[in-house]
Structure 1
Amino acid sequence: MTHRRYGLTIAAVTAAALLAGCQSGGASPLSLDGLTKTVDGMPPRGADSCPLPYDLTKAAKTAGVDAPTGPGPVKDTGEPLATGDGGKNAPPGSPLAENPGALVSCTFHIGQEDLEVRTVVTRNPSAGNQLAPLTQQLAGMSLDDLTAYMKQVGEAETGEPVVTGSGNVAGVRLKPDGDGDAYLLVSVGEDGRTSLGRAKVESLASALADQVQ
């Protein structure tokens, strides 16, 4: 799966398993302290489940997407299905050390395409900026397009997905429990393309955001 790692200066670690592909019911509210503890507790290698309460099957049904879903990529690469960055062990000078926070990335598949769900919470605004370079890469956009897109994201209401021009990436500002700033990035397919279409990606991002708010 390409684009799985976040940045060259942040060492990816993997999440401990909570459920086979999602977690449902009784989940703690998304918070800076909570996500930081999740990342800090991740072992250095391997996890085959997402530690956050994302139910892609339920989200797909809500979004009207009639396609099989499941944890992990379409083609098994042997890589962990969940990774974490930041937390107390964030390398000095890295983005998640400069603006203290944590990032959890989970891999799923929907139909014949891989779907990545990245959740980041930071102490200070704007959490979405942590994923701006990755957004540019995933959507295949120019720097000018990225600047305009991030402006749209900043002006959007909490819980309102903003889809890139490519149609395969959507960002959602979230309201964490307590202090901090939170952001969700959903990407489907790769290289700026997806068969789902812009409207479905937007609906999926909205449904997934609802699961952690």
Structure 2
Amino acid sequence: MTADRTATGLRRTLVVAGTAGLLLGTAACSSSGGVTGTGSLSYDHVRSTAQGLAGTDPCPFGLDLPAALKSAGIDRPVTPGAKDEPAVGTDLGNGKPPEPWPSGVSAPPGMASIPATPPSAWVTCTYTVGATPVRIDLLAVPENGPVVNMMLPSIQRAGNLGVDQLKQFADEQPTAGRTKVTPGAASVGVARVAAKGKGDIALTLSQDTVNATLEPALTGEALRKATEQLAAQLHP
């Protein structure tokens, strides 16, 4: 698969969530939010780096999945890339203004239109851990607050979350500097990363449970620790 096809897949993952996921993701935007921070990684740097990445490049920003897994006590061989997937993929979004709700969808109270989507930079690093495809996703936006909500469709898919589980996670999503795993099988780790200056950054670590059997070693507290280690590695 080419890097362009990977980017297209990421865009589809971001927008194809169904009506329930869309409503939850937008309604949650005013809950847990990022703040202007003093982290080492900025939105501008994530975007400029993503613009220059190719599918065969190593994972950027100092991300070292083997080291993170080892620190979390997960003993599995790790190789970059997976079947039909390049090691690195990117997706750069230019943002969208507010839009009318689709025909037949009732607007939530106080939300006359679908909220605007900010510009974004999304980087995906794909690995094979043992026999399981694993992804690191890093999404950065130049505004405070919306980044985890924007990732909810991909988190829902990777974590195989029901509507109630997705709402629970959206309501209790991690704040800057914190890491959580999703409800249920606990197969997605989500870290909210303190951004340098204004912006919002989140990192997820997940298994490709659509194309592979769930690996129990990459779930729960071990997955949370590995995700936390990855977030701590981030640097320009």
Q: Take 1:48 and 1:212, find their aligned partners in 2: how far apart are those partners?
A: 17
What does residue 81 of structure 1 align with?
87
CA RMSD of aligned residues (A): 2.7
> Which of 74, 77, 83 is the equivalent residue of 1:68?
77
Residue-by-residue CA offset, 1:66-92 (whole Å, 9 max, x unaligned) = 11112112xx32x322111125xx375
State the one-letter code of the partner of 1:161: T
Residue-by-residue CA offset, 1:173-194 (whole Å, 9 max, x unaligned) = 1101121011111102414933
What does residue 48 of structure 2 align with?
37
Where does structure 2 lack aligned partners over 5 or more consecutive residues? Answer: 15-38, 99-113
Q: Take 1:172 and 1:139, find their aligned partners in 2: how far apart are those partners?
A: 15
Residues 1:194 and 2:212 are matched in the alignment: no
Q: Take 1:131 and 1:41, find their aligned partners in 2: how far apart are those partners?
A: 23
Cα deviation for residue 152 of structure 1 reads 1.3
What does residue 209 of structure 1 align with?
231
Counterpart secondary structure, 1:8: helix
Q: 1:114 to 1:93 in 2, by over 3 A?
A: farther
Percent of pairs with identical residues:
28
Counterpart secondary structure, 2:155: helix
What does residue 59 of structure 2 align with?
50
What does residue 162 of structure 1 align with?
180
**Higher relative contact order, chain-length normalized (CA < 8 Å, sep 6+):** 2
Q: Take 1:9 and 1:65, find their aligned partners in 2: how far apart are those partners?
A: 28
Counterpart secondary structure, 2:196: coil
Where does structure 1 lack aligned partners over 5 or more consecutive residues? Answer: 11-27
State the one-letter code of the partner of 1:40: Q
Residue-by-residue CA offset, 1:36-57 (whole Å, 9 max, x unaligned) = 11223346xx434322311111
Q: Which has the higher helix share?
A: 2
TM-score (norm 1): 0.76
Counterpart secondary structure, 2:214: coil
Task: Select the structure of larger CA radius of gyration.
Answer: 2
Residue-by-residue CA offset, 1:113-156 (whole Å, 9 max, x unaligned) = 12100011111212111210111111111222111112111xx3
Q: Take 1:118 and 1:111, find their aligned partners in 2: how far apart are those partners?
A: 19
State the one-letter code of the partner of 1:163: V
Q: 1:107 touches 1:116 (CA, 8 Å); kept in 2?
A: yes
Q: 1:101 to 1:169 in 2, by over 3 A?
A: same
TM-score (norm 2): 0.69
Q: 2:95 touches 2:118 (CA, 8 Å); kept in 1?
A: no
Q: Take 1:175 and 1:183, find their aligned partners in 2: how far apart are those partners?
A: 9
